[in-house]
Amino acid sequence: MLQIKELGVEYITDEMGEKKAVILPIRTFRRLLEDFEDLAAVAERRNEETVSHDKLLAELEHDGIL
């Protein structure tokens, strides 16, 4: 699991020192966004039927992809 320190996060605080927002390096933001999108795709496909590796290879060969 990533630690906050590893992300290069900076906080924006109010006058009382309460954290209100964060600043991330763009590279970190893009990486987190990509991870989030990957997780969303996995969640959407969670209930799909699975296909064996051999069947997948056969289908790819049949379609001329392999």
Q: State the average pLDDT for the chain.
A: 92
What torsion, rounded to 10 degrees, do the Cα atoms 5, 9, 15, 16 define?
-30
Q: Is pTM beyond 0.85 here? A: no
Q: d(Cα 46, Cα 40) in Å, to the nearest integer?
A: 10
Check: CB of residue 12 under 8 Å from CB of residue 21: yes
- For 7-22, how does the pLDDT look when each residue is reduced to its tens digit (9 = 90+)? 889 999 999 999 999 9
- For 34-64, how does the pLDDT look when each residue is reduced to its tens digit (9 = 90+)? 999 999 999 999 999 999 999 999 999 999 9
